[in-house]
Amino acid sequence: MEKRIIGRGVLLGALGGLLAFVFARIMAEPIINRAIDYESGRDDAQMALDKAAGKPMGDMGPDLFTRSQQQNFGLPFGMIVFGAAMGALFAVVYFLALRRVGKITARNLALLVSGGMFLTLYAVPFLKYPANPPSIGHPETIKERTGLFVAMIVISAAVLLAAIWVGRKLAARLGNWTATIAGAASFTVVMAIVMLILPSLGHLSANKEYGDFATETPQPLKDPSGTIVYPGFPADDLYHFRLYSFAAQLILWVVIGVGFAWLAPRLLGERADRTTPAAA
């Protein structure tokens, strides 16, 4: 049964990744193209300023892959593989939770596990460190940004497990409804404190061309006299890219959760229609 659960998880994850790619290809790719054009234009403007100031000119080198290759091969391959990996991880977590839950049906458990994983692996970290289009963001802070996002994932997962434990402990005295509210409130409060403590992406910037109050996304480029020679990155494109990135991840996890809930009766037999057994 374990192999069947993991196998179905991989297939559902790959399907979710494919559907997320189709959505991203239609909605997000035009924004990515505009972001790349923006970066090229900004680099040209910066090179002109550097040339006028007598600074040495850097060579960015050729791209390893064309935009067509990235859009039509790299992106779908990466999203399908990522989806399959998330589906496998979901299946493992689901199988472990199946033997430890109380009066929760196997179908509802699938929805709860997929929702919890979406919350901890993407939604909560996204609130603190939202996605930026490729090429938009200071290259000096790539490692720091990646490290902070991973830290948010680890912390949110640990806090969620702790909140579940608190809820289970309180259920006997307060009832399931009140205990659930208490657990959710504790998770929200702790994660809000964590978000306040962790630094913002703008404070990580080592690039001083934007002034003392550096931001993660490019601001207007100015010459030595203070005249704007190139505009900042459009706020509308940034907003819509983040919205579509969130939606693509939501599609992935909805496919995994709903698909696995639909397959539960076939995978688990009669246990999908009855409550799962409590842990010993």
pLDDT digits (tens, 9 = 90+) for 21-58: 999 999 999 999 999 899 888 888 888 888 887 777 65
Is 238:133 a contact under the CB 8 Å cutoff?
yes
pLDDT at 57: 62
Mean pLDDT of 225-250: 92
Q: Is a pLDDT exceeding 80 seen at residue 70?
A: no
Is 128:198 a contact under the CB 8 Å cutoff?
yes
pLDDT classification of 3: cutoffs 50, 70, 90: confident
Q: Is a pLDDT exceeding 90 seen at residue 240?
A: yes
DSSP 275: B
Mean pLDDT of 127-144: 80
Q: Give the chain's radius of gyration (CA, Å).
A: 23
What's the pLDDT tens digit per position in 57-66?
Answer: 655 556 666 7
Is 96:161 a contact under the CB 8 Å cutoff?
no
The domain locations on the chain are 1-57+66-136+235-280, 137-216
What's the pLDDT tens digit per position in 140-181?
Answer: 677 888 899 999 999 999 999 999 999 888 988 888 889 889
pLDDT classification of 246: cutoffs 50, 70, 90: very high
Cα 261 from chain centroid (whole Å): 23
Q: Is a pLDDT exceeding 60 seen at residue 274?
A: no
CB atoms within 10 A of CB 158: 12
Is 266:4 a contact under the CB 8 Å cutoff?
no
pLDDT at 273: 45
Full 3-state SS string of 230-241: ECCCCHHHHHHH
Mean pLDDT of 191-197: 95
Is 265:272 a contact under the CB 8 Å cutoff?
yes
pLDDT classification of 213: cutoffs 50, 70, 90: very low
Q: Considering the chain, what is the average pLDDT of its residues?
A: 84
Contacts of 81 (CB under 8 A, 6+ apart): 17
Cα 246 from chain centroid (whole Å): 7
pLDDT at 128: 92
User: What's this model's pTM, rounded to 2 decimal places?
Assistant: 0.85
